[in-house]
Amino acid sequence: MAEITASMVKELRERTDAPMMDCKKALNEAGGDMAKAEEIIRVKFGSKASKAAGRVAAEGIVGIYIAPDAKLGAIIEVNCETDFVAKNDDFLAFAKNLAELVAKNNPADVEALSAMKLGDATVEETRTLLVGKIGENMSIRRFVRVAAKGALASYVHGGSKIGVLVDVVGGDEQLAKDIAMHIAAAKPKALDASGVAPELIETERRIATEKAAESGKPANIVEKMVEGSVAKYLKEVTLLGQPFVKDDKQTVEQVLKGKGASMGGFTLYVVGEGIEKKVSDFAAEVAAAAKV
């Protein structure tokens, strides 16, 4: 069995908000497998236990560019080591310029973008010079270029830690901005159920089955409970099924239809999502509390 360390307990607690002792027990039961331990916690505490799973684990910003006609745009994530540098004017300008470069030149990937000219130097040369000037490493993580079916709009939040680029067909500029703000707040995983990864649905089904089985109800009732739980999950994680943040009596789909509009698509970036941070000194405090 893998050794259960203080940092592992800390990470699971940050992902789930579950008590530290429960996190330790779940990790032991899972043999140190973080994903399995998170699933064990969710079976015990329900879906709310995963509310912290998307917390950022690295610094940086999301840069967005939209052309004047709102038909072409790009969103990019650029990472650095500290929040201090993420607020640096040179770093902010670098990310903004990269987003525009992506929109106008359509590079295939980060490597292709790095080789492109940005002023008199390549992007990689500019990045290297900036690292030398600021004294901190930085990297281009990901980007998406969008040619709109309708019109583009964006929303950034929390010092550009969360960025959204939306393509809304029909409606007006305010509607598009409201939808972008909703996405930043509600963080849908997909536009509708067809876009949700099958493995996520299967995980929810497995969790719902285990929880329903504990009820002791007949098999046919358990099956209905499971299907109801999965349907509820899909509404919670899909944009069109979510209650609209500015009017929770309507879903986003109903709001769009009411304005004669539809979604061409969206991209949501949360800085550092899925990137593991260096373990902080707080691990020692966790060790003491969890008695690892």
Q: Domain-by-domain residue ranges, the chain?
A: 1-55+276-292, 59-191+260-270
* Identical topology for domains 1-55+276-292 and 59-191+260-270: no
pLDDT given at position 278 = 54
Q: Which tens digit of pLDDT belongs to each residue from 35-49?
A: 888 888 777 765 444
Asked whether residue 274 carries a pLDDT value surpassing 90, the answer given is no
> Beta partners for 60?
79
The Cα–Cα gap between 201 and 257 comes to: 27
Considering only CA atoms, which of 201, 210, 208, 241 is closest in space to residue 225?
Answer: 208
Q: Which residue has the higher pLDDT, 56 or 212?
A: 212
* DSSP E strand boundaries for 24-176: 59-66, 72-80, 117-118, 121-122, 138-147, 151-157, 162-169
Asked whether residue 272 carries a pLDDT value surpassing 70, the answer given is yes
Choosing among 1.10.1370.10, 3.30.1330.60, 3.30.70.260, 3.30.479.20, the CATH entry for 59-191+260-270 is 3.30.479.20
Asked whether residue 50 carries a pLDDT value surpassing 90, the answer given is no
pLDDT given at position 288 = 47
Asked whether residue 211 carries a pLDDT value surpassing 90, the answer given is no
pLDDT band at 2 (very low <50, low <70, confident <90, very high): confident
User: Residue 27 burial (CB < 10 Å; 0-12/13-18/19+)?
Assistant: buried
pLDDT given at position 212 = 87
pLDDT band at 285 (very low <50, low <70, confident <90, very high): very low
Task: Compute the mean pLDDT over every residue in the chain, rounded to the nearest whole number.
Answer: 88
Asked whether residue 165 carries a pLDDT value surpassing 80, the answer given is yes
pLDDT band at 281 (very low <50, low <70, confident <90, very high): very low
Q: Which tens digit of pLDDT belongs to each residue from 181-205?
A: 999 999 999 999 999 999 999 999 9
pLDDT given at position 161 = 94
pLDDT given at position 1 = 60
Reduced to 3 states (helix: H, G, I; strand: E, B; else coil), residue 56 is: coil
| Encoded amino acid at 282, one letter | F
Return the percentage of the chain with pLDDT > 70, whole number: 89
Instruction: Tell me the helices (H) and strands (E) count for the chain, helix number first.
Output: 12, 10
> Beta partners for 117?
122
**Cα 121–Cα 126–Cα 131 angle in degrees, nearest 5:** 155
pLDDT given at position 186 = 95
Asked whether residue 103 carries a pLDDT value surpassing 50, the answer given is yes
Under 8 Å between Cβ of 86 and 137: no
Torsional class of 17: left (φ above 0), alpha (ψ -120 to 50), beta (otherwise): left
Residue 159 in tokens:
């010092």
Residue 189 in tokens:
């995983």
| Domain 1-55+276-292: assigned CATH number | 1.10.8.10
pLDDT given at position 277 = 60
Query: Which pTM value belongs to this model?
Result: 0.75
Over residues 229-249, the mean pLDDT reads 95
Under 8 Å between Cβ of 170 and 258: no
Rg (CA), the chain: 22
Residue 290 in tokens:
């969890």
**Cα 105–Cα 92–Cα 68 angle in degrees, nearest 5:** 45
Least confident of 83-92, 95-104, 122-131, 274-283: 274-283
Residue 130 in tokens:
């900036």
Over residues 134-161, the mean pLDDT reads 94
The DSSP bridge pattern shows strands 162-169 and 151-157 to be antiparallel
